[in-house]
Each structure stands twice: as C-alpha cells, then as structure tokens.
C-alpha cells in the first residue's frame, strides 16, 4: 500500500516544503469555491472516495458541501503569517491533498463547531469511515492531536485503516505510536 495514505502529518512530522502530490485532480465535487480555485483539488483516490461518500449522502437527502481541499506550502505560509490560529506551513494535512473540509447550508457553509450538530455532520461521523475517511481532530483528543476539535476536517486514510481507527477510537497519532511500539518490541 502506498504509505502516503496512512502517513502522520503534524507539527512533529511535517511535509517537506517542496512536497506536492503528483495526482491532484478536480473531479467536479460540490465545492463552495469558483472553478479553477486550487482548493478544489484533491489527491485522486481521496477525490474518488469523497465523490462516493457525497453521492451516498445526497441519496439520503443531505447537502454536504466541500469547502477546502488541497493547500500548497506557500498558501499555508501566507495564512499562517496572517493568523496564529492556522497550522504552520508543512504541518497542515491539506498540503497532502488527503484532507477535506466540509460544511452545509444549515451553518451557511462555515467551518464551525455547530456543524457537528447538523444532519450532515452527524451522518458524516457515522459514515465517513466506510469510505476511508476519519474525523481527524475529534473532541476529547486535543491533548493528543494538539489541534482543537474540528468536526469539519476529514482525512483520507484508506478504508481498512479508517475502519480500524473508528472501531478502536484511536487517532492517527495513537495508531502510529502503537505501530512504533510494536516494531520496537519485535
């Protein structure tokens, strides 16, 4: 399996400045962004999995809207310079093309904690793992992820890993720590 999908990206494990996924695509997902905006781009498998997830949600009458996908190192640097609440360049999962921020009309497409209580937010927490996505920064795990609760930020990690993490309740940080401990104990 391509290791990029399960890769841990955070402050201790940043992406190189020159890391740009070579398979970024815009497959026409419902984005709250104009055509050709780079934030519409996602890594290809991530985009296809998101399309399946969103089309299932549409069949159930929900209105999930994509807000932000890929973000370059340079763009992250600009945002970080403008706001201390933004992840430093290299440490954002959005640079990998594997992360997707979503919202819905019920909260005016905003990235807000209130999204968690919408039908779309509640549905996603249950169904996202079936399509290979995890809620990357859950409530109650802030001391481990070092990131405040973000009910809108989903990360593609493949179906097997997303299922495993959702069944065990582990974050990606805890999973990688366990892998390391297992490797060390032989």
Interface with Zn ion by CB under 5 A: which residues?
Answer: 101, 153
Q: How far apart are the first and last CA of the chain?
A: 21
94 in helix, strand or coil? helix
The question of whether 60 is a catalytic residue gets the answer no
Shortest CB 42 distance to Zn ion, Å: 12
d(CA 104, CA 110): 8
User: Backbone phi, then psi, for 42, in 5-degree steps?
Assistant: -145, 155
Q: Which of 43, 93, 120, 150 is catalytic?
A: 150
Which residue, 101 or 120, has its beta carbon nearer to Zn ion? 101
- Min dist CB 186 to Zn ion, Å, is 37
**Shortest-Cβ-distance residue relative to Zn ion:** 153
Instruction: For Zn ion, give the closer residue by CB, 84 or 182.
Output: 84
Distance from C-alpha of 125 to C-alpha of 74, rounded to nearest angstrom: 31
Compare residues 98 and 179 and give the one whose CB is closer to Zn ion. Answer: 98
- How many beta carbons lie within 10 A of that of residue 109, not counting itself? 16
Nearer to Zn ion, 59 or 111 (CB): 111
Q: How far is the CB of 185 from Zn ion (least distance, A)?
A: 34
Measured from the Cβ of residue 111, the count of other Cβ atoms closer than 10 Å reads 15
Residue 164 Cβ vs Zn ion, minimum distance, rounded to whole Å:
22
Contact 5, 161 (CB under 8 A): yes
Query: Known catalytic residues?
Result: 150
């Amino acid at each position: 399996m391509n290791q990029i999908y399960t890769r841990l990206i955070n402050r201790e494990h940043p992406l190189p400045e020159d890391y740009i996924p070579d398979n970024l695509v815009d497959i026409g997902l419902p984005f709250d962004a104009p055509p050709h905006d780079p934030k519409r781009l996602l890594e290809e498998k991530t985009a296809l999995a998101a399309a399946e997830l969103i089309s299932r949600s549409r069949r159930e009458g929900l209105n999930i809207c994509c807000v932000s996908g890929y973000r370059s190192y340079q763009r992250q640097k600009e945002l970080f310079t403008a706001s201390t609440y933004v992840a430093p360049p290299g440490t954002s999962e959005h640079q990998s093309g594997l992360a997707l921020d979503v919202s819905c009309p019920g909260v005016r497409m905003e990235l807000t904690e209130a999204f968690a209580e919408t039908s779309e937010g509640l549905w996603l927490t249950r169904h996202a793992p079936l399509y290979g996505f995890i809620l990357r920064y859950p409530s109650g795990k802030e001391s481990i992820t070092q990131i405040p609760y973000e009910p809108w930020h989903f990360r593609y990690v493949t179906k097997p890993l997303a299922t495993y993490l959702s069944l065990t309740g582990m974050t990606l940080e805890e999973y990688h720590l366990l892998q390391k401990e297992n490797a060390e104990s032989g």
